[in-house]
A and B are shown apart, each in its own frame.
Chain A
């Protein structure tokens, strides 16, 4: 069980959250980008053996979306939420 730091509720159990996936680069303009870059944007996400930046939704809590850096080797949260919407 991970304790995820919610900016409003403090450290809460992972089971209160819904996983929102790793943070992807900004969406390229489909008309201005090549097919290869567009497909890469659609299909490929960072898969590091180490810290990954990802989104979590405090769905069973206050409803905040937050972004953290989590180490995929240990599940340690190496950098807390950098945003709160």
Chain B
């Protein structure tokens, strides 16, 4: 792998940037691998990377329907945080945030990770009580959460001029989560792809998996693609909303619903807000990108959906809520919108397990899975390599539904 540095930049600049090697190879598709990972998104690429790096399993193919990093890893709002509710969840996300912070060095790829703090703007007392309860749980696992006054909220976020004493929902205070940050989604996908490729993993784009193949003994045998059958003793599904579409090809039903979660972005403006702002009572959140755009997210659509665009009334509701707290944003022009289809389990927590089909692994139910990419990849690689769940992911198996042992995280995300 060529190392990226100021010196390599200088050296290649002297050659007119014509001498850079491709970031990853495009090898021919083999007929069989030890492990096939379906989906070259954040979780799929991270899984392949950690399989090769931590567990010396390099005979891995990552199969991607479209282009690398073009799915949900490019369809989110790049917020990385660990303010969750349950003892099962918090350590996992603390680990993921910690991994993100060291990833630029590890991958030799600038993630532009900006640990810039998230501030919750709280407008109701039940929400404040809920967040302070979360603070106590998070404190046990070393995640930061601290209450601040309304005056301090307004000092830290000068653009927050709405929500005064006469508003229907006045701002009553805030919660500060200093571990939170944002980074660059393309770099996460490309960095992991490059790191995995350098360790021998093969990345195959434009290779949709149409069907899973199951042997007579019931175990997984491989996958079917338009480029031919690819055999593997272990197959991992990391395809977000299409998880059930794939598992149903071997008659496996999973407790997942696919929903559409949307976001939109404004024109770039001068630096105005230097934290991630989350307004749970009003139902929106945003951060300002390095380019200066406001990246804004709201609530998911009602009902199951595989569409990846925003509905007009979801968009209007989010904008209306935002303008009630940030009236000066009225002048902003909005440039783009997007949606991602995510799957959600009944308790809004992820599922990572070997399924009833031996050799078939799923990582699914990631509502806000962007922040979970490093730890999600590491723990899935652990599960595939060792056959037992990583301690951080052991509460998130499929068998928890059998015992109705839910990890309730509804409300800590935008899930409803």
Choose among A17, A35, A43 the residue with the greatest number of B CB atoms under 10 Å from its CB: A43
- B239-257 at interface with A (beta carbon < 8 Å): 242, 244-245, 253-257
The answer to the question of B305 belonging to the interface, with a C-beta cut-off of 8 Å to chain A, is yes
Measured CA separation A35–B253 after assembly (Å): 16
Give which listed residue, A14, A47, A72, A75, contacts B256 with CB less than 8 A.
A47
Measured CA separation A15–B255 after assembly (Å): 27
Measured as residues with beta carbon below 8 angstroms from the partner, the interface class of chain B is: 20 to 34
Please name all residues of chain A whose beta carbon is closer than 8 Å to the beta carbon of B303 when the two chains form the complex.
19, 54, 70, 72
Interface string of A49-85 (1 = CB under 8 A from B): 1001010000000000000001011110000000000
Decide if B313 touches A1 in the complex (CB within 8 Å): yes
Please name all residues of chain A whose beta carbon is closer than 8 Å to the beta carbon of B390 when the two chains form the complex.
none
Interface string of A2-37 (1 = CB under 8 A from B): 100000000001110111001000000000000110
Decide if B311 touches A72 in the complex (CB within 8 Å): no
- B284-302 at interface with A (beta carbon < 8 Å): 302
Measured as residues with beta carbon below 8 angstroms from the partner, the interface class of chain A is: 20 to 34
The answer to the question of B404 belonging to the interface, with a C-beta cut-off of 8 Å to chain A, is yes
Q: Which 5 A-B pairs have the closest CB atoms?
A: A19-B302, A43-B255, A47-B244, A44-B255, A43-B401
Please name all residues of chain B whose beta carbon is closer than 8 Å to the beta carbon of A45 when the two chains form the complex.
255, 257
Please name all residues of chain B whose beta carbon is closer than 8 Å to the beta carbon of A39 when the two chains form the complex.
401-402, 404
Please name all residues of chain A whose beta carbon is closer than 8 Å to the beta carbon of B255 when the two chains form the complex.
43-45
Measured CA separation A50–B330 after assembly (Å): 38
Interface string of B171-195 (1 = CB under 8 A from A): 0000000000000000000000000
The answer to the question of B77 belonging to the interface, with a C-beta cut-off of 8 Å to chain A, is no
Decide if A74 touches B307 in the complex (CB within 8 Å): yes
Measured CA separation A83–B311 after assembly (Å): 26
Decide if A72 touches B253 in the complex (CB within 8 Å): no
Decide if A49 touches B402 in the complex (CB within 8 Å): no
Choose among B245, B254, B257 the residue with the greatest number of A CB atoms under 10 Å from its CB: B257
Decide if A49 touches B306 in the complex (CB within 8 Å): yes
The answer to the question of B258 belonging to the interface, with a C-beta cut-off of 8 Å to chain A, is yes
The answer to the question of B304 belonging to the interface, with a C-beta cut-off of 8 Å to chain A, is yes
Report the minimal beta-carbon distance from A71 to chain B, rounded to whole angstroms: 9
Interface string of B25-43 (1 = CB under 8 A from A): 0000000000000000000
Decide if A72 touches B305 in the complex (CB within 8 Å): yes
Decide if B304 touches A22 in the complex (CB within 8 Å): yes
Report the minimal beta-carbon distance from A82 to chain B, rounded to whole angstroms: 17
Please name all residues of chain B whose beta carbon is closer than 8 Å to the beta carbon of A42 when the two chains form the complex.
346, 401, 404
Give which listed residue, A2, A47, A74, contacts B304 with CB less than 8 A.
A47
Measured CA separation A24–B326 after assembly (Å): 42
Report the minimal beta-carbon distance from A22 to chain B, rounded to whole angstroms: 7
Interface string of B302-330 (1 = CB under 8 A from A): 11111100011100000000000000000
Please name all residues of chain A whose beta carbon is closer than 8 Å to the beta carbon of B312 when the two chains form the complex.
1
Choose among B242, B258, B302 the residue with the greatest number of A CB atoms under 10 Å from its CB: B302
